[in-house]
Structure 1
Amino acid sequence: MAADFPLLDVQGVTFSLEDRELLAPVSLTLNPGDFVLLTGPSGSGKSTLLKIMASLLDPTAGHLLFRNQDISQLKAEEYRQQVSYCFQTPVLFGHTVYDNLALPWQIRQQTPTRSKLEADLVKVNLPADMLDKKIDQLSGGEKQRVGLLRNLQFLPDVLLLDEVTSALDEDNKTLINHLIKGIVQDNGVAVVWISHDPAEIHQAQRVLQLETPERKNHEPA
């Protein structure tokens, strides 16, 4: 029997810093397999919203419920394994590509096979022999794909993507689009994706347009 509450429920969330409103009130419900495209002008708080949803920032007002539980009552480490945030400019750790792809396994006290990680690299059009390549030798597009693969080693319930194809050429953008679409369709992962790319907007089920707080506050009631 399906649950009668959303997977993730964002209820009137706002964010302010030093009395300056950076995110006007936003509400959003996510269920398994939802694909939401998040767009809006610079300064509308798109990345701020994803960071709040990922429990990397605390909202100034509003609530987030994960499986009907307020996320403030959940252990952050466990929540972030189920709601995964992929940065536009990924924060890569260690020295090599292997170090990064193995990290989610090590957190779970497991060890991946090299053949598994090599196959993952090929899926995103990276050479299988890249595992031992140094992080500081990667291009921006390579870093984005390694960061995304790291987040996908163990599929989360919710995947938050912050312009993760911005450094890619059109062929690799298309490849990543198909990969994410397949994850949604085949595994029921809910995705919220910040993007301005028409192809990415087209494949979303819903589009949530954010406005800057100044504009939102001047909208007629």
Structure 2
Amino acid sequence: MIMLNFSKVSYENHGKNILKNINAHIEEGDYISIVGPSGSGKSTFLKLCNNLISPSSGSISYKGKDMLSYNPIELRKEISYCFQTPYLFGDKVIDNLHFPYEIRNKKFDIKRAEYLCDLFNLHKKILDEKITNLSGGEKQRIALMRNLIFPSNILLLDEITSALDSENTLIIENIIYKLNNAGTTILWITHNKEQSVKYANKLLTIEDGKVKSLEVLK
């Protein structure tokens, strides 16, 4: 099943062409590494994937329906984006893990939060830590935990291990690999060549705002 389909998609910002005539499709269960030079349009492509921004021209469909026909909030429950620079809010870590429950009108599950702490190699005491006291790597992991509280159909990852050491990078890679094996479609921007081919089944290269290649790896 084709989850996302880009048809002649371009994106302009302040008169600058960021993406140009993008044609691509993402199939259910794909694990796609997105690579290319800095400033080539990779993050813009990812933001288009869940309507954080809309195309200047062309169309994007999700599950065969025009993406613009979906309620944005509901769409982003199914297509979840984790930024390279983590955006945490509230006063404490636990405030961020409450949020996914609040927008779904569900009761907070502390056991789920503690399970994710353990999975991400974080002590559960961090839940009561002020976000201002966190390291860059801890903030990245908390942001990803927030995305994973509830399962999504597609997970969009933008350089999410850039602030992590090798041990914690490996932990995150294994978590994402297991999610993919369980059925989550993955799109992951990375500048790490080894990481880009480690688990991915496809390698999407974007250069100068265009799709240079979409290589099948396995």
Q: Tell me if both proteins adopt one fold, taking TM over 0.5 as the criterion.
A: yes
Distance in 1 between the 2:112 and 2:18 partners?
42
Q: Write out aligned runs for 1:52-71 (5 A).
A: 52-71=48-67
Partner of 2:140: 144
Query: For residues 23 and 148 of structure 2, what CA distance do their matches in structure 1 show?
Result: 26
2:34 matches 1:43: no
**5+ unaligned residues in a row in structure 2: which ranges?**
213-218
**Greater strand content:** 2
Identity %: 38
- Match 2:185 to one of 187, 190, 202: 190
What is the CA distance between 1:12 and its match in structure 2?
A: 2.2
Unaligned runs of 5+ in 1: 217-221
Question: Alignment partner of 1:110: what SS?
Answer: coil
- Rounded to whole Å, the distance in 1 between the matches of 2:211 and 2:46 is 20
- Offset, 1:215: 11
1:122 aligns with 2:113: no
Q: Counterpart amino acid of 2:8?
A: G
Query: How many angstroms does 1:32 deviate by?
Result: 2.0
Count of residues in correspondence between the two structures? 211
| 2:10 pairs with one of 10, 14, 17 | 14
TM (normalized to structure 2)? Answer: 0.92
2:138 corresponds to 1:155: no
Label 1:214 to 1:59 Cα distance change in 2 as closer, same or farther (>3 A): closer
The alignment partner of 2:106 has SS state of coil
The answer on whether the counterparts of 2:8 and 2:57 sit within 8 Å (CA) in structure 1 is yes
**Residue equivalent to 1:219:** none
| Match of residue 201 from structure 1 | 196
Shift of 1:150: 0.4
Structure 2 partner of 1:33: 29
Cα shift at 1:29: 1.4
The change in CA–CA distance for 1:214 and 1:75 in structure 2 (over 3 A counts) is closer
When the two chains are superposed, the root-mean-square deviation of aligned CA atoms in Å is 1.6
